[in-house]
Chains A and B, each alone.
Chain A
Amino acid sequence: MSPSLEPLTILIAEDSAADRMLLSSIVRRQGHNVLTAANGAEAVETFRQQRPHLVLMDAMMPVMDGFEAARQIKLLAGETLVPIIFLTSLTESEALARCLEAGGDDFLAKPYNPVILAAKIKAMDRLRRLQATVLQQRDLIARHHDYLLNEQRVAKAVFDKVAHSGCLNAPNIRYLQSPYALFNGDLLLAAFTPAGDMHVLLGDFTGHGLPAAVGAMPLAEVFYGMTAKGYGLSETLREMNAKLKRILPVDMFCCATLLCLSFQRRSVEVWNGGMPDGYLHTIATGERKPLTARHLPLGVLSPQTFNDRTEVFPMALGDRVFLLSDGVIDTCDGNEQLFGVDRLQRVFAANRQPDALFGEIGQALRDFGGEARDDVSMVEVSLLEATQLTPPALVYSDSGQSCPLDWSVNFEFRAETLKRFNPLPYLLQLLLEVHGLRAQSGALYSVLAELYSNALEHGVLGLDSSLKRDALGFARYYQQRNDRLEALQDGYVRVHLQVAPQGKGGCLVVRVEDSGKGFDVARVLERPLDGVRLSGRGVSLVRQLGRNASWSDEGRSARVEFFWEALA
């Protein structure tokens, strides 16, 4: 008989002295340590004090019988498996059943057979170790789980700080997202540009859990950083794509739809890379125009091959853009059927109260029989009057001691630069070094953006703004803009900025010139200031937001002034 590898401590509870002695010898010779008890009560007490690994228990003993002792020992052992082998010459099945009911794991009949006893001890020891391993692994899993949850809590807290620095609580945004959507890779961001436009991003990273969430942080940083500095969708997209391409492994990327909602121009600019169709809901006609994915997700293509081309659509007050993650249309019913786009559109068709849409979609998903998924994200952004929204005041951290007050600068941006570079964020940052201008940064940015895009689009590219009279022409206009910009060979836009002190305040003169054909200034200026046409909004915007706006050189040169008083 080979002793088992690790000696066990075995309690022998047996009232017959000869049997006890014999069994002790057998067990000891098999290499184990032996504890003995002459009755049930002694057995329980010995177990309590010395915690043996295994118990050999006679059924019939004085003081306390083996059945009761087994029950008490099992209770004391708790989750740990302490195998109890009943020693018995009992043969009736009823008596054997009693042994099992009391918690016995096996029987050993008298007369004892050392070979069978050794085999049983070995088998019970295997069982005991198995149970110990299961418990150990269960505890380990529980610890890992707690650890993971805690990590997610921390990650979410950090991420919320970043994500919520935006304007998801603006009155024109409604959204629905599981609080832990981040760990399904869903990402929803919104922020105002310096001009008061709103950028919105709904993204969906591949994968689940922390790996899906890690890309969200750099993406959000780029989104907020560049939006706040006045970059447009194209530059922001290029930067986000390049960053994700650089940091993410090959099999990870981010489907995303990015919107720029312009309240002043009443339009929405869209880029959809790999997300389900979004919808532009025109309230007046009831039409829901799909905003279809035209690009690969972010983080797939190299910066050289990435396509940042956007589409622009006109919007009227109250019109809405609806975006959703694939969790909505990929929700499954009991038969693995997908909810699908058709069912979504039926919900759209049945919708009477635009504000109830989210609830109705949620209800439809529940009725469909799909289990509630936590990667269902929806967002709806509506176009309000610009005055109904209050972009947060920008926070500056410098002291103001080094504020430049008397300077001028000239830029000339030529064809190759106009194609790929947006100078507005740089110009704005430069101007916002002047503390007196900070209070009107929104107006300043809007006017600069308007003058620059007029010079580029109507001047250098020779686009006809009357195209933008209706929705179809609107789309064609932006199509042509992209085409002509790509093909651009020569031309320029010049920007002249001049800052001068004036009393205790100061004055900024902005002049923007272009190499284009100019326009009939007198005719455009005749139009009333508050026209809500799709075309020609730019000029009236400049006249409303800036002071002393004027055009010369047949419209090729625009000039506008900004003033500020002494700072408090």
Chain B
Amino acid sequence: MADTHLDQNVLSALQEVMEDEYPELLDTFIRDSEERLHLLQNSADAMQLMEAAHSFKGSSSNMGAVRLAELCHELEQRAKQKSPTGIEKLVGEIDGEFAIVRPLYEAEKQRSLSE
């Protein structure tokens, strides 16, 4: 189940790179993602929406949130279309996906702190 949401290989690579700062990186990503979700839900126009989705896609892919990155990519593509449809549904899915990965990251943080 977890593997379709988080790439464990990416996580162990991140831990190796960050060492002691690994838990802080996970915290930062969670905080960052909340901001980006907020931006997605309150975008004034397609352009803003596209940029927010693009950025969210980038950091999600860096953090191994595979499914989240995919959804952001889809949103970014759709926001580029002339008359975008299904935006709200996609934003809802991204929100749902984040609700899934967030506890996974928190658990990962606890696990690394207890090592």
Point out residues on A near B: beta carbons under 8 Å. 15-19, 21-22, 25-26, 29, 58, 60, 87-90, 110-112, 114
With the chains together, A18 CA to B61 CA distance in Å? 11
A2 to B85, CA, bound (A): 50
Among B18-26, B87-95, B96-104, the stretch that binds chain A is: B18-26
Residues of B within 8 Å of A58, CB to CB, are 58
Least CB distance from B9 to A in Å reads: 11
- In the complex, whether B74 has a CB less than 8 A from a CB of chain A is no
Chain B residues close to A by CB (< 8 Å): 10, 13-14, 17-18, 21, 24-25, 28-29, 31-32, 51, 54-55, 57-59, 61-64
Contact of B25 among A15, A21, A87 (CB under 8 A): A21
Known contacts A15-B55, A16-B58: does B25 contact A22 (CB below 8 Å)?
A: yes
Task: Please determine whether B18 and A89 come into contact, CB atoms closer than 8 angstroms.
Answer: no
How many residue pairs link A and B with beta carbons under 8 A? The number is 56
Check if B28 sits within 8 Å of A21, measured CB to CB.
Answer: yes
Closest chain A CB from B4 CB (angstroms): 17
Q: List 25 A-B contacts (CB under 8 A).
A: A17-B28, A17-B31, A17-B32, A18-B25, A18-B28, A18-B29, A19-B59, A21-B21, A21-B25, A22-B17, A22-B25, A25-B17, A25-B21, A60-B54, A87-B58, A89-B54, A89-B61, A90-B54, A110-B58, A110-B59, A110-B62, A111-B61, A112-B62, A114-B13, A114-B17
Q: How far is it, in angstroms, between the C-alpha of A196 and the C-alpha of B59 when the chains are bound?
A: 97
Pairwise interchain contact B55-A60, C-beta atoms closer than 8 A: yes
Contact of A110 among B13, B17, B18, B61 (CB under 8 A): B61
- Within 8 Å CB of A17, what residues of B? 28, 31-32
Report the minimum CB–CB distance from A2 to chain B (whole Å).
16
Contact of A25 with B18 at beta-carbon distance under 8 Å, contacts A17-B31, A111-B10 already known = yes
A113 vs chain B, min Cβ distance (A)? 9
Shortest distance from the beta carbon of A14 to any chain B beta carbon, whole Å = 9
A16 adjacent to B59 (CB under 8 Å): yes
Q: Taking the nearest CB of chain B, how far is it from the CB of A47, in angstroms?
A: 22
When chains A and B are docked, how far (Å) is the Cα of A21 from the Cα of B29?
Answer: 10
Determine which residue in A15, A18, A26, A29 has the highest number of CB atoms from chain B within 10 A of its CB, and name it. Answer: A18
The CA of A88 and the CA of B58, in the complex, are separated in Å by 8
- Residue of chain B at shortest CB distance from A65: B51
Q: Is A60 touching B32 in the complex (CB atoms < 8 A)? A: no
CA distance A21 to B28 in the complex (A): 8
Q: Bound complex: CA of A17 vs CA of B62, how far in Å?
A: 12
Contact present for A60 and B14 (CB under 8 Å): no
Q: How far is the CA of A112 from the CA of B62 in the complex (A)?
A: 6
A29–B57 Cα distance when bound, in Å, is 25
User: For A88, what are the chain B residues with a Cβ–Cβ distance below 8 Å?
Assistant: 58
B63 cross-chain contacts in A, Cβ below 8 A: 18
Question: B18 contacts which chain A residues (CB < 8 A)?
Answer: 22, 25
| 17 additional A-B residue pairs with CB within 8 Å, beyond A21-B28, A22-B25, A60-B54 | A16-B59, A18-B28, A18-B29, A18-B59, A18-B62, A19-B62, A21-B21, A21-B24, A22-B62, A26-B17, A29-B17, A60-B51, A60-B55, A88-B58, A90-B54, A111-B61, A112-B62
Say how far B94's CB is from chain A's closest CB, in angstroms. Answer: 16
Contact partners of B17 in chain A: CB under 8 A? 22, 25-26, 29, 114
The 10 A-B residue pairs with the shortest CB-CB distance, nearest first, are: A18-B29, A110-B58, A111-B61, A16-B59, A111-B62, A89-B58, A18-B28, A18-B32, A17-B32, A19-B59
Q: What residues of chain A lie closer than 8 Å to B54, measured between beta carbons?
A: 60, 89-90
**Residue among A16, A26, A87, A88 having the largest count of chain B Cβ atoms under 10 Å:** A16
Q: How far is the CA of A112 from the CA of B64 in the complex (A)?
A: 11
In the docked arrangement, what's the CA distance between A18 and B10, Å?
14
* A525-B14 Cα distance, complex, nearest whole Å: 122
What residues on B are CB-neighbors of A18 within 8 Å? 25, 28-29, 32, 59, 62-63
In Å, the complex CA distance between A341 and B21 comes to 86
Pick the contact of B58: A19, A21, A114 (CB < 8 A).
Answer: A19
- CB-CB < 8 A to B55: which residues of A? 15-16, 60
Q: Measured between alpha carbons, how far is A87 from B64 in the docked complex, in Å?
A: 17
Contacts of B25 in A (CB 8 A): 18, 21-22, 25
A16 to B62, CA, bound (A): 11
Q: Report the bound CA distance from A228 to B10 in whole Å.
A: 95
Q: How far is the CA of A212 from the CA of B18 in the complex (A)?
A: 68
A89 and B57: CB pair below 8 A? yes
Give the distance in Å from the alpha carbon of A330 to the alpha carbon of B32 in the complex: 79
Closest chain-B Cβ to A487's Cβ sits at a distance in Å of 102
| Residue of chain B at shortest CB distance from A89 | B58
Question: Taking the nearest CB of chain B, how far is it from the CB of A99, in angstroms?
Answer: 14
Distance of A19 Cα from B60 Cα, bound (Å) = 9
- A198–B47 alpha-carbon span in the complex (Å): 92
Tell me, rounded to whole Å, the shortest Cβ–Cβ distance linking A376 to chain B: 69
Residues on B with C-beta less than 8 A from A114 are 13, 17
Of all chain A residues, the one with the shortest Cβ separation from B51 is A60
A21 to B61, CA, bound (A): 15
Q: How near does chain A come to B23, taking the closest CB pair, in angstroms?
A: 12
Closest to B14 in A: A22
Contacts of B10 in A (CB 8 A): 111
**Shortest CB–CB separation between residue B66 and chain A, in angstroms?**
10
Give min CB distance, A95 to chain B, whole Å. Answer: 10
In whole angstroms, what is the CA distance A25 to B25 when docked?
10
